[in-house]
Structure 1
Amino acid sequence: MTPNTTTADPLRKAASGIAGLDEITFGGLPAGRPTLIAGAAGCGKTLFALTFLVKGATAYDEPGVFMSFEERADDLIDNVSSLGYDLPGLIADKKLVIDYVRVERSEIEQSGEYDLEGLFVRLGHAIDKIGAKRVVLDTLEALFSGLGDGPVLRSELRRLFQWLKDRGVTAVITAERGPEGQLTRHGLEEYVSDCVIALDNRVDEQITTRRLRVMKYRGSAHGTNEYPFLIDKGGISVLPVTSAGLSHSISDEVVSSGVAGIDAMLGVGGFYRGSSVLLSGPSGTGKTTFGSHFVNAACLAGNRAIYFSFEESPEQIVRNMRSVGLNLDSHVTAGLLRFESSRPSLFGLEMHLVLMIRQIDQFDPAVVVIDPISAFRGSESEIHATLLRLVDYLKVKGITVVFNNLVNGDQDDRNEQSLSSLMDVWVGLHDLEANGERNRGLFVLKARGMSHSNQIREYRLGSDGVTLIEPYIGPHGVLTGSARIVQEAQEEAATLERRDEVNRRKREFTEKKSAAERQIAETREALQREEAELLALETVDERKEQILTASRSAAATRRGATA
């Protein structure tokens, strides 16, 4: 577990001011006690010690004394000027004293009464001169170069360390690494120190990585793992992250992938903020294009983004993305997008991790792209551990990250399975080969907390970006490319044929209907004529009947008159 600086600790501590170290030590070095920093040449012992003094003077108002037995003051000032440390200014402000003590072994005569009183007087004067709270002695080997007797050396070491404790100063003493199996040259210094920090400059496959380990800390808990640390123009920074645990907060906020089709497939419109996303596929499937769409969408929303590239330069990515309609250069100019490119062979895995975390801390992005993680050099377990630390760090900060991964063959598939356990979302890109051509397809293998699509979707890369094509199921499964076009043409021809048949039948029906309607009209007209004739006959009959009735009535009347 990573040390928590809020953990209660009864031991009084002095913050070192070195990024990451105070987290590992639960607050800093033991105040009023000596700390031993041991390491081989080139590990950064002197720089660690000087940083402890400079940070104390500038950040915590604790003046310091640097007593050197190897380097002169002018050399020390020149050596750290590139880090932005203004030692002459601190000396002028009485915040720092640098005292060079020349020790020649030939001038030291060992006796039973080896005496450090002269050193104590000189060091005490420097402490009193500026009211120093911090002291550095660099290095013990130079100071005790004339002592070879073990009991005398141990006695003088105890005496020196006790004198520093009695003065109430927080002291850092540097020591050279001893022979194999031994932390220090004499093998005694670590036993009389209250805190021991070992520095290492390790070379693995021609790649150098500096590491730090707290070997001992009396009266205090501390991180016990090895931690990589970086020395550059920004000073010293230690990476304390081993595993941030599973206590990070979560969010329901959704971050767009930059591709509308993928957002729809995920079911919620994108990735949950703080998610880790694995985008894997063989060469030529457009992983960099998908990553660029992701940062482009974030920048269009007004958020910051960092793109870590380990295979292409920023200029090359910006130029290539213009072909798919992305103007990433405008986001760089606006200060929303930053590219960080380096060869994976430049540093070891842990050093790359330190650099990425430092750059993320400085830029404070909302989204990050790592392209590709397959470029990292190291064993599967080392890569897994490095990514775990990075994923945990980004989750704590609520940063959404896309990891591009190049895969080829069964071995890479097994590596993917191992990496996928760290990821919240896994999108696979694949080549779909059929009918003598290669097309591209994608699918969502996993998406925690999302009801995602299970379809395989063909996609195209064009001047308008990434376009997902609606799934097309043919008689023998999903069709892509020219097979899809042929099948669509065949089905369209069949549709046209059916449409023509329907139209023909409609025309025949219309003609029959028209003929029937004409026949009905003619029949209706004939019936109307016949009806009119019947009415006329009825009228004639009625007229005849009336005439006949009238005639009969008239005849009857005449017969009555003659009777």
Structure 2
Amino acid sequence: MAKNKKEALLKTPTGINGLDEITNGGFPKGRPVLICGSAGCGKTLFATQFLVKGITEYNEPGVFMSFEESASDLTQNFNSLGFDFEKLKADKKLYVDHVRIERSEIEETGEYDLEGLFIRLNYAIDTVGAKRVVLDTLESLFSGMENMALLRSEIRRLFTWLKEKGVTAIITGERGESSLTRQGLEEYVSDCVILLDFRVIEQIATRRLRIVKYRGSTHGTNEYPFIIDEDGISVLPVTSLKLDYKSSTEIISTGLAALDNAFSTGGIYCGSSTLLTGQAGTSKTILAAHFAMSSYKRKESTLYFSFEESPDQLLRNMATIGIDLKQAIKSKLLHIQASRPSLQGLEMHLLVFNKLLEELKPRTVIIDPISSLITIGNNNEVRAMLVRLMDTLKMKQINALFTSLTHDGPSEYNNPTVDAVSSLADTWIDLKNEERNNERVRSLLIVKSRGMGHSNNQQDFTITDKGINFTTSNKK
């Protein structure tokens, strides 16, 4: 997504995480924007967040004119998201108006036009000195009109009037059967059109956003997933990442001195990614815990995603082998995020990852195991999601460790998570669980490590009450 340096169109920041990157700076200043979509896709919330963030972050007063919900209903609905309508109204930064539309009354009064609305809207804008306006939803406003020629004329007049007033306006509209909106005209007279979509695929719900058009500006053209949580809407422009991140020369420890010594540099590069593969029981999670403790000893924060164990179970299991993760949690340098992969779709997981990265700003991220993601997506979807995640971590120069389950046999590496990550990972360590002389032997082999020499030996190790211990004899 290229940035046009000669672009002269003035932009209004949206206040919605990730959206300004997609739109190259925000919505067109002083022009109408159409947000359309089916019921439940987040249109009203989208418009409300734009309005509230404009007031609280950019000191731009706003007007919210609703044709469906009353002012008291709107206030109650958005209090749960921290949008305090009453305070904003008391500070004279927000004007909320509910325009009641009754089809029977419109039919009784004869020909219908918007002159009354213009007067009412003009008063609201002037009262608070509004720079942003929301009209929610347009269908209700024209519910009593049967004359299509008059309807189209009034829509054009409304959009022209908003432009002349110099406000950045969001108009929400229900999606039509054969057009973006029911009337089919709003999308043509709007300067910017954004389509929201709410879909359910294999019982997993996903919300997505697409910029249909944006006059006078370059913009992202892909579909972008977005999430609605207690903080409102967040959009992640996951398809716009570039290979322009920096690479550090600083060396950090893996948490195991013997493993560090297997690298010519005495450790791995800071901000690099490490992949641990192996069958069940090869100690992938234990190595990940050593990695987390190494970050803690450097007084760096760690974000640990666990897809198979609860935080309490992980702490208990590691404590039995001398790895005390509790002290790291008490110091608030370790945060464990545990959930089943089926909790949400792949792109929603990616959005949650990104949100936590912004909130916690960790220096180390561990995902254990990434192979669990195959249960909620096909091979191509999992591969695409992991590539995006790794690029995000690279751009932020975060130390990353991924574990992945493999299966015995000639195709043990032939799974989408290993395929996706192995070529991108800077260091790949494979763990094995073999039987030698009627004895179970665990071993480790460094498959690759970019930018540094490393041991070619397969190193045996045991699990003790003090963690992993490497034996002196190595199998070549």
TM bracket (short chain): over 0.9
User: Are residues 80 and 282 of structure 1, via their aligned partners in 2, closer, same or farther at CA, if it must alter by over 3 Å?
Assistant: same
Cα distance, 1:110 vs. partner? Answer: 9.9
Deviations 1:34-58 (A, max 9, x none): 0000111111110111111101111
Q: Look up the match of 1:498.
A: none
Q: Look up the match of 2:22.
A: 24
Within the alignment, does 1:357 sit opposite 2:358 as a pair? no
Cα distance, 1:107 vs. partner? Answer: 2.3
Q: Look up the match of 2:427.
A: 425
Cα distance, 1:317 vs. partner? Answer: 0.7
Within the alignment, does 1:295 sit opposite 2:292 as a pair? yes
Q: Look up the match of 2:198.
A: 201
- 1:453 and 1:424 mapped to 2: Cα distance? 15
Bigger drift between 109-118 and 170-179 goes to 109-118
User: Are residues 455 and 111 of structure 1, via their aligned partners in 2, closer, same or farther at CA, if it must alter by over 3 Å?
Assistant: farther
User: Are residues 111 and 446 of structure 1, via their aligned partners in 2, closer, same or farther at CA, if it must alter by over 3 Å?
Assistant: farther
Compare relative contact order (CA 8 Å, sep 6+) and give the higher one, 1 or 2: 2
Tell me if the contact between 1:243 and 1:389 (Cα under 8 Å) persists in the aligned partners.
no
Tell me if the contact between 1:280 and 1:404 (Cα under 8 Å) persists in the aligned partners.
yes
User: Are residues 8 and 293 of structure 1, via their aligned partners in 2, closer, same or farther at CA, if it must alter by over 3 Å?
Assistant: farther
- 1:413 and 1:36 mapped to 2: Cα distance? 46
SS of equivalent residue, structure 1 residue 62: coil
Q: Look up the match of 1:130.
A: 128
Q: Look up the match of 2:83.
A: 85
Cα distance, 1:451 vs. partner? Answer: 0.8
Cα distance, 1:364 vs. partner? Answer: 1.0
Cα distance, 1:272 vs. partner? Answer: 0.8
- 2:401 and 2:104 mapped to 1: Cα distance? 62
- 1:7 and 1:432 mapped to 2: Cα distance? 59
Partner of residue 258 from structure 1, selected from 237, 244, 255: 255
Cα distance, 1:280 vs. partner? Answer: 1.0
Tell me if the contact between 1:323 and 1:462 (Cα under 8 Å) persists in the aligned partners.
no
Give the letter for the 1:371 counterpart. Answer: D
Partner of residue 55 from structure 2, selected from 45, 54, 57: 57
Percent of pairs with identical residues: 55
* Corresponding residue pairs, total: 471
Give the letter for the 2:185 counterpart. Answer: L
Q: Look up the match of 2:452.
A: 450
Give the letter for the 2:28 counterpart. Answer: P
User: Are residues 99 and 299 of structure 1, via their aligned partners in 2, closer, same or farther at CA, if it must alter by over 3 Å?
Assistant: same
Deviations 1:120-145 (A, max 9, x none): 00000100111111100000111111
Bigger drift between 253-262 and 27-36 goes to 253-262
Listed as ranges, the matches of 1:207-226 within 5 Å are 207-226=204-223
Listed as ranges, the matches of 1:290-439 within 5 Å are 290-376=287-373, 377-409=376-408, 410=411, 413-415=414-416, 416-439=418-441
- 2:128 and 2:192 mapped to 1: Cα distance? 26
Give the letter for the 2:61 counterpart. Answer: P
Tell me if the contact between 1:457 and 1:468 (Cα under 8 Å) persists in the aligned partners.
yes
SS of equivalent residue, structure 1 residue 246: coil
Cα distance, 1:83 vs. partner? Answer: 1.0
User: Are residues 64 and 24 of structure 1, via their aligned partners in 2, closer, same or farther at CA, if it must alter by over 3 Å?
Assistant: same
Higher share of residues assigned helix: 1
- 1:83 and 1:359 mapped to 2: Cα distance? 18
- 1:103 and 1:207 mapped to 2: Cα distance? 36
CA-based RMSD of the aligned residues comes to 1.8
Q: Look up the match of 1:141.
A: 139
- 1:306 and 1:7 mapped to 2: Cα distance? 37
User: Are residues 248 and 65 of structure 1, via their aligned partners in 2, closer, same or farther at CA, if it must alter by over 3 Å?
Assistant: same
SS of equivalent residue, structure 1 residue 156: helix
User: Are residues 336 and 472 of structure 1, via their aligned partners in 2, closer, same or farther at CA, if it must alter by over 3 Å?
Assistant: closer
Deviations 1:298-342 (A, max 9, x none): 101111111011111111111111122111101111111111111
User: Are residues 418 and 390 of structure 1, via their aligned partners in 2, closer, same or farther at CA, if it must alter by over 3 Å?
Assistant: closer
Cα distance, 1:472 vs. partner? Answer: 4.1
Cα distance, 1:418 vs. partner? Answer: 3.6
Tell me if the contact between 1:298 and 1:305 (Cα under 8 Å) persists in the aligned partners.
yes
Cα distance, 1:404 vs. partner? Answer: 0.9
Cα distance, 1:22 vs. partner? Answer: 0.8
Q: Look up the match of 1:35.
A: 33
User: Are residues 110 and 185 of structure 1, via their aligned partners in 2, closer, same or farther at CA, if it must alter by over 3 Å?
Assistant: farther
Higher share of residues assigned strand: 2
Tell me if the contact between 2:457 and 2:474 (Cα under 8 Å) persists in the aligned partners.
no
SS of equivalent residue, structure 1 residue 467: strand
- 2:196 and 2:26 mapped to 1: Cα distance? 17
User: Are residues 193 and 34 of structure 1, via their aligned partners in 2, closer, same or farther at CA, if it must alter by over 3 Å?
Assistant: same
SS of equivalent residue, structure 1 residue 84: coil
- 2:18 and 2:146 mapped to 1: Cα distance? 37
- 2:268 and 2:159 mapped to 1: Cα distance? 56
Q: Look up the match of 1:482.
A: none
Deviations 1:242-282 (A, max 9, x none): 24211111100112111222212222122211111111111
Tell me if the contact between 1:321 and 1:328 (Cα under 8 Å) persists in the aligned partners.
yes
Q: Look up the match of 2:180.
A: 183
Within the alignment, does 1:284 sit opposite 2:285 as a pair? no
Larger radius of gyration: 1
Deviations 1:93-114 (A, max 9, x none): 1100110001122222399964
User: Are residues 243 and 57 of structure 1, via their aligned partners in 2, closer, same or farther at CA, if it must alter by over 3 Å?
Assistant: closer
Tell me if the contact between 2:174 and 2:182 (Cα under 8 Å) persists in the aligned partners.
yes
Cα distance, 1:16 vs. partner? Answer: 0.8
Give the letter for the 1:27 counterpart. Answer: G
TM-score where L is the length of structure 2: 0.95
Listed as ranges, the matches of 1:453-472 within 5 Å are 453-472=455-474
Deviations 1:15-38 (A, max 9, x none): 111111111111110110000001
